[in-house]
Amino acid sequence: MPHLAVNAALGWHVSVNGGAVEVSLKDPRNRGIIYAEMRYRITLAEETAAGKFEIVPVRDKELEELRQNIEAWLVEDDVDRDDVDERPDFETF
């Protein structure tokens, strides 16, 4: 399977299988962030027939921009904020 490094908040993997996307988290406390980021990345995933994406951490400025985007998505989607840590531990690998 091909591997693709993609900027995201945490280390996680996406398996694409017949249009269904399965997300495996290294740190389940961050599932809200992964969900929001996954919605943003789904088009990327669908462009690969079958693939495994290895997500890599981004720089501090990018993390802040990502956090702000996720915040907006959560408000837009009315996601329960209790599912999202305010400041997740981005150093957990």
Residue 36: what pLDDT? 54
For 18: left if phi > 0, alpha if psi spans -120 to 50, otherwise beta; the answer is: left
Alpha-carbon distance of 78 to 59, in angstroms, equals: 28
Q: What is the pLDDT of residues 44-63, one digit of tens each?
A: 444 443 344 444 444 556 65
Alpha-carbon distance of 26 to 13, in angstroms, equals: 9
| CA separation, residue 36 to residues 8, 18, 25, 49, 70 (Å) | 11, 21, 13, 22, 6
Residue count of the chain, please give it: 93
Mean pLDDT of the chain: 49
